[in-house]
Structure 1
Amino acid sequence: MSLKRRLIVVASIWIVAGMIVGGFLLSAIFRELVTVQFNDELHVHLDELRRLAEISPDGAILQRDLSDPRYDVPESGFYWEIQRNGSIIARSKSLDGPALDIPADPPTNTYIHSYSIAGPTGTLMVLEQAKWIDPSGTPVRFVIGTDKRHLDDVLHSFDSMLGYTLAAFAALMIAASALLILYAMRPFDQLRTALGTVRSGQSTEVGGTFPREVQPLVDDLNTLLKSTAELIGRARIQAGNVAHGLKTPLAVLTDEAYQIKEKGLHQSAAIILDQCRKMQTQIDYQITRARAVAMRSAPGMVASVQKAALEVTSALSRLHKARPISIETNIPPSVSVACDAQDLNEMIANLVDNACKHARKRVGISLAQPLQQDRVTVAVEDDGAGLPPEAYEIVFNVGERWDSQKPGSGLGMAIVRDLARLYGGDVRLGSSTYGGLAAYLELPKATQ
């Protein structure tokens, strides 16, 4: 999972969790406030009922109706009742049926009591208070209540509205967080794009404008790229110096061998010349390998396969012009590999030169089928005699040749395999569609 996705997921989880906890807290606070408000309203109506009630031995009447008209609507859920000795002496127009079942209080208890009882339209939230009209008689009980469903409806409406509101707010917060994270991570996308241009060879350094927090990283990367390029340059120069330094002593030894041969010491001269040839082969091989190892570390290596094939075809056509050989190139211009151009030329040149030496009339350079997504396979084929399968690996050994009648040092195929493997590829042999030998050079495709 990418860093941006992780940050967005974590931010979303925290936002959702915060909204859930906040929703529960707000709902609990609102429930407490509304419940207190309902109780306060019942206290006010109970006090109003006691003040308006005129009690007589025959019953009770109110000087006027209560200020809340809902007590006059039948089964409205707002009820009041006045009782004496368990009998009803007055009740609201909204109430019908048997007397409200209020728990009995001690005779001397005149405090206000709250109960939840069964009412005609559901559970009632009830306040009750006893009052002595006649000290020698029994107290009168004033009862006022409201259906609990009214409170539940208010709470349910608030919870629904709160849930929708918090859900919408959470969605907006998540969207805002995602946009903020994407904006904050944008410099890293720019850095990735800039590094892509370096890898593809379009630029030698990471360019662009970056925030202060990212710019030191960009500067360090550019310094590293510059120092790497300098090290590679020095390595190539050093490899050339080694080759030049060994060439002169080897030439002296070879000349001495020929002088020894002129003096009649043919066997000694042959041994020295053979050893000089082997040393020259090893020097060429190791110098080429050292240069390739250095180039492999260089960023932004891109080489066009078509360009390399055309250059090789042009050079080898002139080299083998004495023979009726046709070199055909069929490589699309868009195919590129992650390899140094000089090394690619050397690999293709060795393969094509080897094919030209053994071909009768025809050599072909093309892309092997099927095409792969991240690899490029170049096929070099000829119409020569080919090789038996047991020789496919032998010819890759340094200094080994299967056909000693043909000119060569036995170094070309070994260099091709070593270079290909240094770049993460390989080379293999097989049967050609032309009837001869086919060499398949596989290299990683260049990053676009």
Structure 2
Amino acid sequence: MRDQQDRLRLPTHASMSLGLRLFLIAALWCAAVLTLAGWALSTLYSRSITDALDRELSAVLENLTTDIEWAENQLALEDPPNDPRFNHAFSGRYWTAIADLGAGAQSLAQSRSLWDEGLILPAPFLADLKANPGNRRAIALAGPNGEPLRVLATAIALSDPARGDLPIVLAAAADRREGAESARNFALTIGAAFAALTLGMIGAVAAQVRWGLAPLRDLEAEVAAVRNGRVPRLGGPHPREVRPLAAELNGLIDSNRDIVERARTHVGNLAHALKTPIAVLLNEARAHEDLLLSPLVIRQADAMRDSVEHYLRRAQAAARAEAFGARCEARLALEDLVRLHQKLYAREGVQVRLEPGPSLFFRGERQDFDDLAGNLLDNACKYGGGLVEARLNAQDADFLRLIVEDDGAGLTADEQAAALKRGVRLDETAPGSGLGLSIVDELARAYGGSLKLGQSDLGGLRAELTLPRVD
């Protein structure tokens, strides 16, 4: 019970399968790496678009810086930027030259694309440019039509014959929507491609994990085959990493068989050592039945013999129940037992019937099944009314069920409970020690099964025996 409680207290991840652990680790790693890679590529692409736009605007500023001059008391360009978009109204490409002539900052020259609008640069931005002439600064502004612009500006000192060196701010601007749309399309494309790649890699990881753990599933099937008695030991071949485990399991199987065999030998030796003195006591007591203590000695010696027989069977059954590989065909054994009891009780007019059913295998030795089923049939033949019916079927995937019914007087609920107690005899007129049903109950529980008594539809006792089965 304590071991079971300790197992229940284990954290949930301890019971998670190896395959699921490996799959989750690899899948999460692939998803994280590809997600980060997609984000990095999208960010780099977006920056490359911004850098390309800045280079384009820098070329415009270079052109403006080189060609702008004072002419007839106003700014003029000998060779204005040749991009036709500077000549189309609100095309998304703009330039302007701003100076402070005493009435505040004002545009002295600008591209035709601005039409009758202008680029209004923030005062702190203008002050920063004038304080750092020659340096270029970028800023995001709203355009004439409210479009998002990226503005690149610089300040130069332009000599005016009338005013001397005058600081001029040159600014070039471009609509950011085209680049943003391109970056968004790239991000969607990369996202879809990486999502497909992630799904493909996850599928490949699942296949890899399944293929990699296949030797463990094969080993599990081999262990089940050994326990079910289909093979004596684990075969192979096994991968190098699994061979030590397979060797240890084979060693455990061999050790289990040796322990069971030694236990059988010790129990047999003990039983032989006890049975012989008891038999001598019985023979001597029966030879001198006229003595006063002879009946008492006979009764006690019989009780000792029955107890030795009981515990001998119990110990042998417990040892066989823990052994690997034991199995027998239950229906074939039951057919033999039905024929035997039909012959044994033919003079009493007892009819023993076996209903047809599937071929099932008991996970245990034939001797134990014969003891279990034979005791039930013998009990029904002795105490029934002359009709005994037996049925064998599958209770579920792990257990088979043997039902033996008779048309006798049956037992009350109290008598049914008492019948499973060792040494209790409900009918003192019948020969025996009262160990039959109690032995069946103990042997069944040794195999992980059970024995239930109830009322039969035939009118007598119904005994339902549940035992482990194998394929």
Report if aligned partners of 1:305, 1:333 keep a CA contact under 8 Å in 2.
no
Structure-2 residue corresponding to 1:364? 389
2:293 alignment partner, SS class: helix
Structure-2 residue corresponding to 1:81? 96
Structure-2 residue corresponding to 1:237? 265
Q: Report the TM-score, using the length of structure 2 for normalisation.
A: 0.86
Deviations 1:394-421 (A, max 9, x none): 2223222111222222121121111011
Question: 1:240–1:132: structure 2 CA closer, same or farther, 3 Å change rule?
Answer: same
Question: 1:109–1:394: structure 2 CA closer, same or farther, 3 Å change rule?
Answer: closer
* Corresponding letter in the other structure for 1:338: R
Correspondent of 2:29 among 2, 11, 14: 14
Question: 1:324–1:95: structure 2 CA closer, same or farther, 3 Å change rule?
Answer: same
Q: Report the TM-score, using the length of structure 1 for normalisation.
A: 0.90
Question: 1:107–1:168: structure 2 CA closer, same or farther, 3 Å change rule?
Answer: closer
* Corresponding letter in the other structure for 1:81: T
Structure-2 residue corresponding to 1:191? 219
Report if aligned partners of 2:69, 2:158 keep a CA contact under 8 Å in 1.
no
The answer as to 2:316 corresponding to 1:291 is yes
Indicate the larger mover: 417-426 or 370-379.
Answer: 370-379
Report if aligned partners of 2:451, 2:463 keep a CA contact under 8 Å in 1.
yes
Q: Distance in 1 between matches of 2:366 and 2:131?
A: 110
Indicate the larger mover: 8-17 or 277-286.
Answer: 8-17
Correspondent of 2:355 among 330, 333, 344: 330
Indicate the larger mover: 290-299 or 31-40.
Answer: 31-40
Correspondent of 1:111 among 134, 149, 166: 134
Question: 1:72–1:337: structure 2 CA closer, same or farther, 3 Å change rule?
Answer: farther
Q: Map of 1:66-145 to 2, 5 A cutoff?
A: 66-83=81-98, 85=101, 88-102=107-121, 103=123, 104-105=126-127, 110-114=133-137, 115-121=139-145, 122-126=147-151, 127-137=153-163, 138-145=166-173
The answer as to 2:228 corresponding to 1:200 is yes
* Corresponding letter in the other structure for 2:282: T
Q: Distance in 2 between matches of 1:233 and 1:107?
A: 103
Report if aligned partners of 1:110, 1:130 keep a CA contact under 8 Å in 2.
yes
* Corresponding letter in the other structure for 1:57: E
Query: Shift in Å at residue 351 of structure 1?
Result: 0.7
Structure-2 residue corresponding to 1:170? 198
1:390 alignment partner, SS class: helix
Q: Distance in 2 between matches of 1:205 and 1:411?
A: 37
Question: 1:140–1:422: structure 2 CA closer, same or farther, 3 Å change rule?
Answer: closer
Query: Shift in Å at residue 82 of structure 1?
Result: 3.6
Q: Distance in 2 between matches of 1:255 and 1:109?
A: 128
Report if aligned partners of 2:407, 2:460 keep a CA contact under 8 Å in 1.
yes
Identical counterparts, % of pairs: 32
Q: Distance in 2 between matches of 1:62 and 1:80?
A: 12
Query: Shift in Å at residue 257 of structure 1?
Result: 0.7
Query: Shift in Å at residue 276 of structure 1?
Result: 1.4
Q: Distance in 2 between matches of 1:109 and 1:297?
A: 92
* Corresponding letter in the other structure for 2:21: R
Report if aligned partners of 1:130, 1:141 keep a CA contact under 8 Å in 2.
yes
Structural RMSD (CA): 2.5
Question: 1:67–1:349: structure 2 CA closer, same or farther, 3 Å change rule?
Answer: same
Report if aligned partners of 1:330, 1:365 keep a CA contact under 8 Å in 2.
yes
Query: Shift in Å at residue 7 of structure 1?
Result: 2.2
Structure-2 residue corresponding to 1:156? 184
Report if aligned partners of 2:386, 2:407 keep a CA contact under 8 Å in 1.
yes
Question: 1:117–1:372: structure 2 CA closer, same or farther, 3 Å change rule?
Answer: closer
Query: Shift in Å at residue 131 of structure 1?
Result: 4.0
Query: Shift in Å at residue 310 of structure 1?
Result: 0.7
Q: Distance in 2 between matches of 1:358 and 1:198?
A: 41
Structure-2 residue corresponding to 1:310? 335
Deviations 1:216-249 (A, max 9, x none): 0001101111121122122223222222222222
Question: 1:143–1:57: structure 2 CA closer, same or farther, 3 Å change rule?
Answer: farther
* Corresponding letter in the other structure for 2:93: F
Report if aligned partners of 2:444, 2:466 keep a CA contact under 8 Å in 1.
yes
Indicate the larger mover: 412-421 or 248-257.
Answer: 248-257
Structure-1 residue corresponding to 2:458? 434
Deviations 1:20-78 (A, max 9, x none): 33333334444444333322221112112333446411655544553434333432211
1:175 alignment partner, SS class: helix
Structure-1 residue corresponding to 2:3? none
Report if aligned partners of 1:260, 1:268 keep a CA contact under 8 Å in 2.
no
Q: Distance in 2 between matches of 1:135 and 1:260?
A: 157
Q: Which runs of 5+ in 2 are unaligned?
A: 1-15
Q: Distance in 2 between matches of 1:87 and 1:437?
A: 115
